[in-house]
Chains A and B, each alone.
Chain A
Amino acid sequence: MNRSRKSALLLIVLAVALPAVIVLSVGTGPVSIAPLDILYILFDRLGITDSQVSDQTRLIVESIRMPRTLMGAMIGSSLAIAGAAMQGLFRNPLADPSIIGVSSGAALGAGIGIVLGGALFAGFSSSLLMDYSVSLLAFAGGVLTTWIVYKMGTTNNGTSVATMLLAGVAISALAGAGMGILNYIADDATLRSLTFWQMGSIGGANWNSVLLCFTLLGPVIFMLCRYGQVLNAMLLGESEARHLGIDVQKTKLKLILVTAMAVGVSVSVAGIIGFVGLVVPHLIRLMVGPDHRTLLPASAMLGGILLLAADMIARVAVAPAELPIGIVTALMGAPFFMSLLWQQRKRIA
Chain B
Amino acid sequence: MSSLKVQNATVQIGEKTLLDDVSITVTPGEVVTVLGPNGAGKSTLMKVISGERKPSSGSVILNDREDWRLEQQALMLGVLPQSSSLSFPFTVEEVVILGRIPCATDRTENLAIVEAALNEVDGLHLKDRQYTTLSGGERQRVHMARVLAQIWNELDFGKRYLLLDEPTSALDPAHQQLTLKMARKQAEKGVGVLVILHDLNLAARYSDRLVILKEGGIAAQGTPHEVLTVETVKAVFNVDVTISEHPAHHCPLVINN
Contacts and interface: CB of A to CB of B under 8 A. Distances in A.
Interface in B66-88: 70-75, 77-79, 81, 84-88
A233 interface: yes
Contact of B74 (A3, A237, A244, A289): A244
B101 A285 contact: no
A237 B94 contact: no
Interface range on chain B (Cβ under 8 Å from partner):
20 to 34
Contact of A242 (B70, B72, B75, B94): B70
Given A3-B91, A291-B94, A246 B70 contact: yes
Interface in A229-284: 229, 232-233, 235-237, 239-240, 242-247
B90 interface: yes
A242 B102 CA distance: 11
Contact of A158 (B77, B87, B91, B102): B87
12 contacts: A91-B85, A93-B87, A236-B84, A237-B85, A239-B79, A239-B81, A240-B81, A242-B51, A243-B78, A244-B99, A244-B150, A246-B101
A246 B77 CA distance: 13
Interface of A: 3, 91-93, 156-158, 229, 232-233, 235-237, 239-240, 242-247, 285, 289-291, 347
A229 B107 CA distance: 13
Given A229-B101, A233-B98, A289 B91 contact: yes
A235 B71 CA distance: 18
A257 B79 CA distance: 30
Contacts, number: 75
A236 B91 CA distance: 13
Contact of A289 (B75, B86, B90): B90
B43 to A, nearest CB: 11
Interface of B: 47, 50-52, 70-75, 77-79, 81, 84-91, 94-95, 98-99, 101-102, 150
A244 B147 CA distance: 9
A243 B74 contact: yes
Q: Point out which of A156, A236, A239 has the most chain B C-beta atoms below 10 A from its C-beta.
A: A236
B89 A285 contact: yes
A232 B50 contact: no
A145 B253 CA distance: 58
Given A242-B70, A244-B101, A237 B84 contact: yes
B1 to A, nearest CB: 25
Given A237-B86, A243-B74, A243-B150, 19 more contacts: A91-B87, A91-B88, A158-B85, A235-B86, A235-B88, A239-B50, A239-B79, A239-B81, A243-B77, A244-B74, A244-B98, A244-B101, A245-B70, A245-B71, A245-B75, A285-B89, A289-B89, A289-B90, A290-B88
Contacts of B94: 3, 289, 291
Contact of A243 (B72, B79, B91, B95): B79
A235 B89 CA distance: 11
A156 B75 CA distance: 23
Given A243-B74, A244-B74, A290-B90, A236 B52 contact: no
A289 B71 CA distance: 27
A236 B86 contact: yes
Nearest to B78: A243
Contacts of A156: 85
Given A157-B85, A235-B86, A239-B81, A245 B102 contact: yes
Contacts of B51: 242
B84 to A, nearest CB: 6
A233 B102 CA distance: 10
Contacts of B47: 239
Given A289-B90, A289-B91, A245 B101 contact: yes
B90 A244 contact: no
